[in-house]
Structure 1
Amino acid sequence: MNLDFQPVQQASHLVPESIYQQLHTLDLLDKVQVAKINPDFADGELLHEQYNVPFESELNCLVVQGKRNGLVKHAAVLVPYGRKANTGSPAKHALDVSKVSFAPLEFVIEQTNMEFGSITPLGLPNDWFILADASIFEQTDVIIGGGLVKSKLQIATKDLKQIPNLIVVENLAK
């Protein structure tokens, strides 16, 4: 990989405050790594070509909302790059909702204080869930958005499991 990773603790300017605070709370500031990237190459294929990031290490993070009886639940959905999020049965069951749809982009950006193209499962509102496809944990380390389109985070999957409200879901990616 051609990304110059360093501990978030040493490069806090590359992540939003909410991510820094959550990593501090989880005692992961020195374990999660951040790298500055050219925002023009933030997308999966371009990230792979420009920085030699293996596709199997890249994750996509999408935000969905589920509804049941007037109650709305939000969740970040983590799937391997190149696969689509299955917002059908796996997501509905994990969130205990009857309907799942993608959350409005403006709402997501406002609630997360993150940039479009770099939403990440770290530093989200406390009442949001994180649904992670089970296949992600076949990798030792993964690359996720840094909250700012100019950065990427590298996190060990064992550390990813420490994020509050994380639910590992079989067949979430299709």
Structure 2
Amino acid sequence: MTLVSFPGLTSLPAAGHLDLVAPPVAAMLDAHPDLAALVAIVEIDPALADTEAMTAAYDLPLGGSANCVVISGRRDGTERVAACVVSAETRADVNNLAKRRLDVRKASFHPMERAVAETGMEYGGITPIGLPATWRLFVDERLLAPERCIIGGGVRRSKILLPGSAFAAIPQVEIVPGLGI
């Protein structure tokens, strides 16, 4: 199988290069070899980890990148947390669709310090692969279509490349039509 790649980035197979991603990401890929077989890892300059900086510096299409945001809310005194993954050309519909799916009165962005601590990932690198098992994972249905997509590696110094169809193989994923607006 050919590794997913973008011009200007050196794709490395996940197997043998899990030291380039956050420990929870490595653990998930190690536990799910079918998913790991679909994944390539690329090293980037950590100062360029933010989507706009990365796409400009590496001359990548914005539509080839996906962003992961963590939201939370409460219902009946219980906190509910979810990650929302959408194309970088859109933003997650947090106040309507995601809030309803999470079944909370008000959804807010999860506090950054808590998101970092609870995921074991770095701010600016949080990715849908390796999230806490108790969290829900909403992925915009449109992300399944591209032949290649860039997501965080759990750390700012790497990114994960995968075919869009691989999102469906991530444990706990819920494919959500219209999540990105």
| TM-score bracket for this pair, using the shorter chain length | over 0.9
SS of alignment partner, residue 24 of structure 2: helix
* C-alpha contact 2:144 2:167 (8 A) present in aligned 1: no
Gaps in structure 1 of 5+ consecutive residues? none
Match of 2:112 among 105, 108, 124: 105
- The amino acid that maps onto 1:88 is N
* C-alpha contact 1:3 1:51 (8 A) present in aligned 2: yes
* Aligned twin of 1:159: 166
Q: Could you tell me how far apart the structure 2 residues matched to 1:155 and 1:97 are? A: 32
Gaps in structure 2 of 5+ consecutive residues? 1-6
Number of equivalenced pairs: 174
Q: Could you tell me how far apart the structure 1 residues matched to 2:112 and 2:54 are? A: 22
* Aligned twin of 1:171: 178
* C-alpha contact 1:94 1:167 (8 A) present in aligned 2: no
Q: Which segment drifts farther, 39-48 or 122-131?
A: 39-48
* C-alpha contact 1:141 1:156 (8 A) present in aligned 2: yes
TM-score (norm 2): 0.90
* C-alpha contact 1:36 1:152 (8 A) present in aligned 2: yes
* Aligned twin of 1:34: 41
* Pair 1:74-2:74 in alignment: no
Deviations 1:46-69 (A, max 9, x none): 211221221111011110012211
Q: CA RMSD in A?
A: 1.3
Match of 2:14 among 3, 8, 31: 8
* C-alpha contact 1:20 1:29 (8 A) present in aligned 2: no
Calculate percent identity across the aligned residue pairs: 33
Runs of 4+ in 1 over 4 A off after TM superposition: none
TM-score (norm 1): 0.94
